[in-house]
Amino acid sequence: MFEREREWAKATGLKEGDRVQIVEMSGEPHYSGREGVVEHIDDAGQVHGTWGGCALCMGDTFKKIS
């Protein structure tokens, strides 16, 4: 059901402990520019971290800073 999203999550190369900056999060403009550390990637391919309550999903843009 979430195969495309899981593939996207794998393709990002992100792993727990990586630091990222959110460039754009769909429907959440106030997250632009936030930085945080990846805490985990769930079974649906969503990347959760310390930047706030929303997860990075397929279609969101970010840059890895460490």
Query: May I ask the CATH architecture of the domain 3-64?
Result: Roll (2.30)
Query: pLDDT at position 1, please?
Result: 76
Query: pLDDT at position 3, please?
Result: 93
- Report the predicted TM-score, pTM, of the whole model to 2 decimal places: 0.92
- Ramachandran angles phi, psi of 22, nearest 5°: -80, 125
| DSSP sequence for 4-66 | HHHHHHHHHT--TT-EEEEEE-TT-GGGTT-EEEEEEE-TTSPEEETT-SPPB-TT-EEEE--
Q: Is the pLDDT of residue 66 over 80?
A: no
pLDDT tens string 3-62 = 999 999 999 999 999 999 999 999 999 999 999 999 999 999 999 999 999 999 999 999
